[in-house]
Structure formats: structure tokens, C-alpha cells
């Protein structure tokens, strides 16, 4: 391939991913607000545009036109860097995510590793933001976020290793390809050969909720305890970037879950059925957004856990279970494979 | 925030919770000394919404002081109205027609439910569950509409007068109340299914913020806090006033003393309020709603008088000292949450911040009433 | 709880106080001359300061069962008696009897363990030197009530762990419920 086409392709993908991340962040806020409203028997945003569909744009315009206040005494470089650092890795991660067989920017051999590596940068950004704010609530929040993310990264990685064992690859495309042939072949279900599939999925889902700081594990934000946690002192697009980063991370978590457990772009139906059985990016997006909707539902249904029970859940339940799960899966692979 | 830099070597730090903080539900400030996430010491700082109601009581005539009662505990203002008018009626020897007594009880209990509903929503909000708040408001709105139709206001009621009520209720109101009773009877099981049985909520509340009966006694805590510690003490039963002795209701008591017990006491109390309302509506007699001879100038005999009623948050008592004039010589308002909050400092030691806030929410604070 | 016992003990306590300082009324006679009261008949005359002792009053009218007046330095012992009886301290407040040049500190006790029983304990102290021992050692809940009374009346509770302004701003220099307070 010639260099010009390569550069062109790169730019297209980069612009596309930034737009995708931003549009997702904006419209997931709308989905969240509208969803919350209907769960709570309200109307939700409805003034700006039909069904309030232009509300995210209005919010974005408002955030961008506000002053970015840097409080006195904060650690300036860190304070400014932190929101950027939440957004950049999120966009980087999109590079490796295969939305379909053809729509992917880079097909890495170790795509999974790269996603997890970049995902853990997010913690650093939240820690920096909290620490640099020089606000006690923000510092408490940063400490919470760090302990929470470290605690949940471990079971998450163990689960990922389990999937890698089953698929025999760290390449996301190959992991998806291993699940071809309808719903019965998905890693989610025991019919795939690994009867621990559902447990693996549940642990992974809980971990991804905790990793993205979503309710009921939103201890970093905990608005009734810590005001707004690490972004208490942020205004304007500083806050906006944290916000977008949060939603971008949710999208990534949902996409990763789709890839690892739900057969990526493959249809749940056998390929022999015309149209519905064909694999396409539509299936990927449907699965991803259903997962995101599940995350939204959970947020508006459950109260928040305490930090201690959160950490106990990880260290005392999820980590032993995921280790056991890894061993059992490894044994199964050895026996059956 | 503080002007002190956060030093790495400083193990304990002070955290100002409030006066503007989402969890204090008003302008309460709690000076916390924290060791990481643990509360070492919590000192509530009061007075941000202090209005010196007691001095106002000395400067206004007995009747002019009536509207002040709605401004103390704005969530269950009618209990305070009731306490005050009953006190003055006792002092001046005014007889209240029976219908008025029934109306008072019906409206007070409706108000108690609305107060508990708001507490329910706000409390679960403190725990991070947003949705129940809107459901509770949905129900509460019905009560406010009903009460607005009779009292003319939605929050700071001033409905009872010495010798009766400001105006009679219509049948619409009574049938509306019955419809609401029916509605809440279907809603409460839903709340229990969705909220009370939630495993995270139970984990957050069970065993959190234990308050022993002895501690309640030492601090003078009353109301649901006391009943959540296993003491069966409800002034409507123990020191009957108005027509409560004629009505059949239970006092929910839970012995555990933790936040869950206080939660359950209030939830069960709503059911009992419904029973009271139902019976009162069934029994309400016809007749006038104002006593015939109420003096324009009330001049009670000199001396001091005490009257206590069960407000939504505990014992609300007034000690009025009269020198025989048209206004009080001294008006002491004893608010329940003032005493209930005073045990927070001792009880919250060693708690996690999140648990401390759950505990504070379970005390059901209304700051204007604490600060008076 | 035995109500009779409590009343007897309080009676003994009040009698003790009378032996020490026989008449509160005599202090009042010096400080608050009768002529002053007659000069403004439209404000009805407050009741004559009563002597120390225990009165069983009509609950239906007064809202309390037992009305006890004791010496200022006896309030802690009264609190102990009532604490042993299992009663709880509902409120502490003051009354400014400016005509007698006295402040009255009022303690409201109630019984939460069963049948209704309310006791009010009152003690009169000099208006010029308003000090009285704290009962917060017996009832920790008295802490805030005493601070509030200190706010409003400037009554100094001896031995109080933290006698600071509670409801009023920390830098204020007045006590609004004193009858000679003219606003600020």
C-alpha cells in the first residue's frame, strides 16, 4: 500500500473515532437523562429540539462558552492535564476496536493488551485531577478511585486471560472470529464448550462497571458524599472532558464486553438465515448499546455501595472466583482442546 | 475549602461537611476530623438559619405567633400548628368542636405522611439511589394538592386557629384523602419491593449507626430514632391529646437501633397514618369547626404551661410562660431533631464517611427546626 | 419507675435547699421592689417568686405532673435522682425575671419508658452573676441545651465542656432573650 493512502486512511479513522467518541458521549448523556426520566416517570429534556434531541449540543455549547476556572493554589499543570488525559487514552483505545471485519483502524496481535494498558491510564488522570484540585473531597475521591480501580483491574485481567486461553489469541478480531456461528458459540454461553461462561461474563461485567466508575460503584463521584468527587473544582470543558471521558469509557467497556462475550459483529442467528443471520456492524452496535442501556438501568435502580464493601467484593469474592474460573477454564481447554 | 495545604505527613485532616453540602439537607455544617475515610470526630455546627423564633414569641400576640409554627419544621408544619394551638387552648380554656379535632388529626397525619415520604426519597438519595425520590415526590404531590385545597398553602401551613380550624373541609377533600389512602396502600409494598429489599440498601443500613436505648435516653432523642431503638414511646399513645385515644393504631417499634430500624419505623408509621386517616374520616361528625366564643384577645392566666405533641420527627414541646398579657412572657420551643442530632457526635465516632452520612440521613434532620 | 419515690427524693432535696438558704422570695424582695411592678399595671404582674419545694400540679392544665424548685447548686443532684429513675432530659431553658433581678433555669424531664410522667425542675439564680453547675455530666444531651441557654441568656454553666455559642454567631456579644436586650 502506498503511503498517501495510509495517511489518508489514518486521518479518516482518527477524525471518525474522535467524532464517534464525542457523539457517543453527547448522546449517551441524552439517553441517560431521557432514560432516567422515564424510569422516574418524568419527561426529561424536551425543549431543545424534538424530544430534546438537540439538548446535548446546547449543553456542549454552554460548557464550551463557560470560563475554565483554575482555583487559586491548585497544581496548574496537573490540573489542566488531567481532563485531557482522561480523553486521549479513550480515543486511542478506539483504534484497536474492531466494529466489524472491515471497520477497524489497526489490527494488532495484542489489541487486548493495548486496550487494558490504555484503560488503566484513566485512573492516573482521575488521581491527577483529584490531587491537583487541592480540595479535600477531591483528594478523598482520588484515593477511592485508585483503590477501586486497582482492586477491580485484577479480576478483570484474570477474566481476560481466561478468554485469551479459550480463544488462543490476544487479537480481538480472532477472538470474535472464534465465536462465529450464532449465539450458541458465544463465550457468554456454556454451549461454547466452556461451562463457566456466564460466571466469567458476570464477573467481567461487574468489573467493567467498577472500572468505569458507574453506579452502584460510583464512589469517586458519590455526589451525596463527596459533592462531585475528583471533578468538584472543574468547570467548563475541563468538566466536559471528564464527562466525555466517562461516557467514552462506558462505550469502550461495552464494546469490549461485546467482543469478548457476545460474538462481536456476528448475528445471534445462524448464518444460513438470510439478512438476519449476516454479520455486520449493526449487530455490534446493537449489542453494545443494549449493554450500555443495561448500565444506565443499573445506575438508576441501585443505591451506592460503600468503599469497604466494594473492596471486599473484589478482593474476597471476585478475585478468588476469577482465579478459580481461570484454573477451571484452563483445565477444560486442556481436556477438550 | 481549607487554607492549609494538604501535607503528606498529616494523617488526620479536618473536613467541613457543609454548610452547603448535598447530604446535610440544609445549612448544617459538620466539622469532621477524618482519618482517611474514617470519622474520628464529628462536631455539628449549628445556627446558619437561626431566626430567633423564641424572641419573636415574646414580641407577638398569641395569635400573631401562629404563622411562625409553619416555619420551624417546614416538612410537618401541621404538627407544630397543632402543638401550639393546643397549648394556647389549654392556657385559655378554649373548647374545640369535635369536627375540628377530627379535621386536625386528618390533616396532621396527611402532613406526617408527606414528611415521611420526603424523608424516604431524600434518604435513599443520600445512599446514592436517585429514583425513589421522584416516586416519593409523586405521592407527596397528591398530599400537597389535597392540603392546599383546605389550608391554602403547600408547605408552611397556618391552618389551625385557637378554637378550631380556619375553614371547614369539603367532601371532596375527604374522598380525596380516602383515594390517596388507597393509592399509598398500593405504593408502599412497591417501595418495600424496590427499596427495602434491595441487598445494597440493606448492606448500607443494617448495623450502621447503632443507637442504644440508653443513649437515646441520655440525649433526649425521641420520635422514630427512639422507636428504632426499641422504646415504645409515641406521645399520641403515651400522652394522648386531641382525639388520638379514640383511634386504633399501632406504634411501630424496632429493637435493633440501627439505621435500618429507623428506616423501617418510618415506613411502618406511614401505614399507621393511613389507618388513622381512614378511621378519622369514617368517624368525622358534622358540626361547626370553630368554637363559638373565642376571645379576640387571648390573655391566659399567669403561670407556665407545657405541651408536647408527636411531630414527624419526635417530641415537639412548647413551654410558654404567661404573665397574663396578650403575648407570651417566654416561649420555649423544644424541637425534636435538636436533641436527635446531638447524639451524632458520640454515635458517629469511628464510622466511615459514607456510613456517617447514612446515619445522619436516618436521623431525618430538618435544619430550620434545629436552628429555630 | 416509682413516681412516689422520685417525688419524695425531690422533696428531700428541696427541703435541704431551704435549710441552706431559706427564702428565695426574700432575695426577690430586695432586688425587685414591689413599687416597680405597680408602676406598670398593664403588663400583668408575674407570679410571686415561689419558695423552694415540690408541687404536684394539675397535669391537664400545666402539662407537667411535678414542679420542683430548688437551689441552683442542687440541679445536678436533681438530675441524678431523675436519671436513676430512668427519666430523660427533654429541654433546658431559661426565663428572665427581670423584675426580681433573677434568672430561672428550667429543666424539663419526661419519662419515656411507659406511663406519662413529666417533671419540671427550676432553679433561680442571680441575674448579675448567672452561674449554675452543668448537668451535662449526667445527661450528655444537656450539652447543647445548655449552650443554647448560654446563647440566649448568658447563663454560665460551670464545668461545661464547651460553653461556646451554638446558635448565635461566634462573635456576638449579646444575649437576646434577656428582657433588657434592645436589639442589635
- Three-state secondary structure readout of chain C: CCHHHHHHHHHHHHHHHHHHCCCHHHHHHHHCCHHHHHHCCCCCCCCCCCCCEEEECCHHHHCCCEEEEECHHHHHHHHHHHHHCCCEEEEEEEEEEHHHCEEEEEEEEECCCCCCCEEEEEEEEECCCCEEECCCCCCCCHHHHHHHHHHHHCCEEECCCCCCCCCCCCCCCCCCCCCCCCCC
Q: Which of B178, B180, B55, B191 is nearest to B123 (CA)?
A: B191
**Per-residue model confidence (pLDDT) at position C24:** 43
Which of B39, B128, B129 best tests the A interface by mutation, with the highest count of A CBs <10 A?
B128
Instruction: Collect the ranges in chain B with pLDDT lower than 70.
Output: 1-10
**Between residues B311 and C18, the one the model is more confident about:** B311
Q: Which of B371, B244, B358, B369 is nearest to B315 (CA)?
A: B369
C56: domain CATH number?
3.30.460.80
Query: What are the chain B neighbours of A39 within 8 Å (beta carbons)?
Result: 131
Q: Please give the residue range of the domain that contains residue C126.
A: 1-22+51-184
The residue with cell 473544582 is A233
Q: Per the domain annotation, does C34 fall within a domain?
A: no
Query: What are the chain A neighbours of B207 within 8 Å (beta carbons)?
Result: none
Put simply, the answer to whether A223 touches B129 (Cβ < 8 Å) is no
Q: Looking at residue B12, what DSSP letter applies?
A: E
Put simply, the answer to whether C63 touches B346 (Cβ < 8 Å) is no
Sheet strand arrangement including B303-311: B303-311, B314-322, B328-334
Put simply, the answer to whether A303 touches B357 (Cβ < 8 Å) is no
Domain ranges (residues) in chain B: 63-297
Q: What is the mean pLDDT of chain A?
A: 84
Taking CA–CA distances from B353, the nearest residue in chain A reads A225
Choice among A5-9, A51-55, A287-291, B94-98 with the minimum mean pLDDT: A5-9
pLDDT in tens, C90-102: 889 888 888 878 8
**Is residue B100 a contact partner of residue B345, using CB atoms and an 8 Å limit?**
no
Chains sharing 3 or more CB pairs under 8 A with chain C: B
Angle, CA C6 vertex, CA C5 and CA C8 arms, to 5°: 65
Which of B332, B335, B340, B343 best tests the C interface by mutation, with the highest count of C CBs <10 A?
B332
**Per-residue model confidence (pLDDT) at position B114:** 92
**Is residue A225 a contact partner of residue B32, using CB atoms and an 8 Å limit?**
no
Domain count, chain C: 1
**Per-residue model confidence (pLDDT) at position C23:** 45
User: What Å distances lie between residue A101 and A250, A279, B262, CA to CA?
Assistant: 22, 9, 57
Fold of B63-297: Cytochrome-c3 Hydrogenase; chain B (1.10.645)
In whole angstroms, what is the distance from residue C113 CA to residue C27 CA?
39
Residue A183 pLDDT > 60: yes
Strand, coil or helix: what is A48? coil
Pairing of strands C118-126, C66-70: parallel
Strand, coil or helix: what is A178? coil
pLDDT in tens, A246-264: 888 888 899 889 888 888 8
**Once rounded to an integer, what is the mean pLDDT over residues C123-129?**
86
Q: Count other Cβ atoms within 10 Å, centred on residue B4.
A: 10
**Per-residue model confidence (pLDDT) at position C41:** 38
**Per-residue model confidence (pLDDT) at position B117:** 92
In whole angstroms, what is the distance from residue A295 CA to residue A249 CA?
12
**Is residue A205 a contact partner of residue A212, using CB atoms and an 8 Å limit?**
no
Put simply, the answer to whether C167 touches B50 (Cβ < 8 Å) is yes
pLDDT in tens, C28-53: 333 333 333 333 334 444 455 567 77
Min CA distance, B289 vs chain C (Å)? 23
Put simply, the answer to whether A305 touches B129 (Cβ < 8 Å) is no
**Per-residue model confidence (pLDDT) at position B265:** 92
Min CA distance, B25 vs chain C (Å)? 18
Q: Per the domain annotation, does C28 fall within a domain?
A: no
State whether ipTM is beyond 0.95: no
Put simply, the answer to whether B343 touches C64 (Cβ < 8 Å) is no
**Per-residue model confidence (pLDDT) at position C1:** 65
Q: Per the domain annotation, does C31 fall within a domain?
A: no
Query: What are the chain C neighbours of B90 within 8 Å (beta carbons)?
Result: 60-61, 63
Which letter, b or e, does each residue of B288-307 get, where b requires 16 or more Cβ atoms within 10 Å of its Cβ? ebbbeebeeebbbebbbbbb
**Between residues A233 and C30, the one the model is more confident about:** A233
**Once rounded to an integer, what is the mean pLDDT over residues A99-125?**
81
Q: Per the domain annotation, does C41 fall within a domain?
A: no
Query: What are the chain A neighbours of B5 within 8 Å (beta carbons)?
Result: 73, 134
Residue C26 pLDDT > 60: no
Sign (positive or negative) of CA dihedral C133, C139, C140, C143: negative
Q: Per the domain annotation, does C36 fall within a domain?
A: no
Amino acid at each position: 500500500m502506498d503511503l498517501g493512502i495510509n495517511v489518508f486512511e489514518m486521518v479518516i479513522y482518527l477524525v471518525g473515532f474522535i467524532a464517534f467518541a464525542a457523539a457517543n458521549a453527547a448522546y449517551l448523556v441524552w439517553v441517560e437523562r431521557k432514560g432516567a426520566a422515564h424510569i422516574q416517570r418524568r419527561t426529561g429534556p424536551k425543549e431543545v429540539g424534538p424530544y430534546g434531541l438537540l439538548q446535548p449540543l446546547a449543553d456542549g455549547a454552554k460548557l464550551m462558552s463557560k470560563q475554565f476556572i483554575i482555583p487559586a493554589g491548585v497544581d496548574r499543570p496537573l490540573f489542566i492535564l488531567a481532563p485531557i488525559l482522561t480523553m486521549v487514552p479513550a480515543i486511542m483505545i478506539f483504534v484497536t476496536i474492531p466494529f466489524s471485519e472491515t471497520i477497524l483502524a489497526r489490527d494488532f496481535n495484542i489489541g487486548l493488551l493495548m486496550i487494558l494498558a490504555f484503560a488503566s491510564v484513566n485512573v492516573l488522570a482521575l488521581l491527577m485531577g483529584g490531587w491537583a484540585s487541592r480540595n479535600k473531597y477531591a483528594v478523598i475521591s482520588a484515593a477511592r478511585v485508585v483503590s477501586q480501580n486497582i482492586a477491580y483491574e485484577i479480576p478483570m485481567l484474570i477474566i481476560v486471560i481466561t478468554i485469551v486461553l479459550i480463544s488462543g489469541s490476544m487479537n480481538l478480531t480472532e477472538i470474535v472470529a472464534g465465536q462465529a456461528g450464532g449465539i450458541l458459540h458465544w463465550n457468554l454461553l456454556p454451549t461454547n464448550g466452556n461451562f463457566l461462561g456466564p460466571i466469567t461474563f458476570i464477573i467481567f461485567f461487574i468489573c467493567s462497571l467498577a472500572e468505569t466508575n458507574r453506579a452502584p460503584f460510583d464512589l469517586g463521584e458519590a455526589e451525596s458524599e463527596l459533592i462531585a468527587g475528583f471533578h468538584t473544582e472543574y468547570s467548563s470543558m475541563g468538566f466536559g472532558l471528564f464527562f466525555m471521558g466517562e461516557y467514552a469509557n462506558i462505550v469502550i467497556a461495552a464494546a469490549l464486553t461485546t467482543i469478548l462475550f457476545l460474538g462481536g459483529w456476528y448475528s445471534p442467528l445462524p448464518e444460513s438465515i438470510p439478512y438476519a443471520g449476516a454479520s455486520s456492524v449493526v449487530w455490534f452496535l446493537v449489542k453494545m448499546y443494549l449493554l450500555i442501556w443495561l448500565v444506565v438501568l443499573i445506575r438508576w435502580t441501585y443505591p451506592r455501595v460503600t468503599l469497604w464493601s466494594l473492596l471486599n467484593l473484589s478482593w474476597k469474592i471476585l478475585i478468588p472466583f476469577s482465579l478459580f474460573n481461570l484454573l477451571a477454564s484452563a483445565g477444560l481447554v486442556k481436556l477438550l482442546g | 475549602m481549607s487554607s492549609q495545604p494538604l501535607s503528606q505527613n498529616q494523617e488526620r485532616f479536618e473536613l467541613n461537611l457543609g454548610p452547603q453540602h448535598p447530604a446535610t439537607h440544609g445549612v448544617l455544617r459538620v466539622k469532621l476530623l477524618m482519618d482517611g475515610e474514617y470519622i474520628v470526630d464529628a462536631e455539628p455546627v449549628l445556627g446558619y438559619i437561626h431566626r430567633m423564633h423564641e424572641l419573636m414569641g415574646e414580641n407577638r400576640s398569641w395569635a400573631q405567633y401562629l404563622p411562625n409554627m409553619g416555619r420551624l419544621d417546614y416538612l410537618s408544619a401541621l404538627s407544630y400548628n397543632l402543638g401550639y394551638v393546643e397549648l394556647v387552648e389549654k392556657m385559655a380554656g378554649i373548647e374545640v368542636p369535635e369536627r375540628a379535632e377530627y379535621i386536625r388529626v386528618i390533616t396532621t397525619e396527611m402532613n406526617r405522611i408527606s414528611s415521611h415520604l420526603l424523608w424516604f426519597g431524600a434518604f435513599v438519595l443520600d445512599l446514592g439511589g436517585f429514583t425513589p425520590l421522584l416516586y416519593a415526590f409523586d405521592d407527596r404531590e397528591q398530599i400537597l394538592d389535597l392540603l392546599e385545597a383546605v389550608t391554602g398553602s403547600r408547605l408552611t401551613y397556618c391552618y389551625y386557629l385557637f378554637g378550631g380550624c380556619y375553614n371547614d373541609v369539603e367532601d371532596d377533600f375527604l374522598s380525596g384523602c380516602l383515594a390517596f389512602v388507597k393509592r399509598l396502600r398500593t405504593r408502599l409494598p412497591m417501595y418495600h419491593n424496590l427499596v427495602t429489599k434491595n441487598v445494597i440498601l440493606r448492606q448500607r443500613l443494617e448495623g450502621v449507626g447503632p443507637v442504644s436505648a440508653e443513649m437515646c435516653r441520655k440525649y433526649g432523642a425521641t420520635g422514630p430514632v427512639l422507636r428504632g431503638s426499641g422504646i415504645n414511646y409515641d406521645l399520641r399513645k403515651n400522652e394522648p391529646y386531641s382525639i388520638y385515644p379514640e383511634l386504633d393504631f399501632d406504634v411501630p417499634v424496632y429493637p435493633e437501633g440501627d439505621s435500618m430500624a429507623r428506616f423501617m419505623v418510618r415506613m411502618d408509621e406511614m401505614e399507621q397514618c393511613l389507618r388513622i386517616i381512614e378511621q378519622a374520616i369514617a368517624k368525622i361528625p358534622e358540626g361547626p369547626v370553630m368554637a363559638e366564643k373565642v376571645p379576640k384577645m387571648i390573655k391566659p392566666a399567669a403561670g407556665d404551661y407545657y405541651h408536647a405533641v408527636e411531630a414527624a420527627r419526635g417530641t415537639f414541646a412548647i413551654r410558654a410562660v404567661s404573665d397574663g398579657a396578650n403575648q407570651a412572657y417566654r416561649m420555649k420551643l423544644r424541637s425534636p431533631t435538636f436533641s436527635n442530632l446531638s447524639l451524632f457526635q458520640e454515635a458517629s465516632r469511628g464510622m466511615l464517611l459514607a456510613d456517617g452520612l447514612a446515619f445522619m440521613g436516618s436521623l431525618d434532620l430538618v435544619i430550620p427546626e434545629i436552628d429555630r | 419507675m416509682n413516681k412516689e419515690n422520685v417525688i419524695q427524693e425531690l422533696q428531700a432535696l428541696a427541703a435541704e435547699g431551704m435549710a441552706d438558704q431559706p427564702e428565695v422570695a426574700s432575695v426577690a424582695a430586695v432586688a425587685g421592689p414591689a413599687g416597680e411592678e405597680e408602676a406598670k399595671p398593664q403588663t400583668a404582674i408575674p407570679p410571686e417568686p415561689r419558695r423552694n419545694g415540690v408541687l404536684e400540679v394539675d397535669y391537664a392544665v400545666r402539662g407537667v405532673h411535678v414542679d420542683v424548685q430548688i437551689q441552683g447548686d442542687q440541679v445536678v443532684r436533681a438530675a441524678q435522682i431523675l436519671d436513676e429513675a430512668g427519666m430523660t432530659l427533654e429541654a433546658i431553658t431559661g426565663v428572665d425575671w427581670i423584675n426580681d433581678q433573677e434568672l430561672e433555669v428550667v429543666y424539663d424531664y419526661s419519662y419515656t419508658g411507659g406511663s406519662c410522667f413529666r417533671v419540671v425542675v427550676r432553679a433561680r439564680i442571680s441575674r448579675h452573676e448567672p452561674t449554675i453547675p452543668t448537668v451535662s455530666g449526667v445527661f450528655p444531651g444537656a450539652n447543647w441545651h445548655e449552650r443554647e441557654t448560654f446563647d440566649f441568656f448568658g447563663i454560665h454553666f460551670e464545668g461545661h465542656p464547651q460553653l461556646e455559642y451554638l446558635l448565635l454567631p461566634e462573635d456576638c456579644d449579646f444575649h437576646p432573650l434577656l428582657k433588657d436586650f434592645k436589639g442589635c
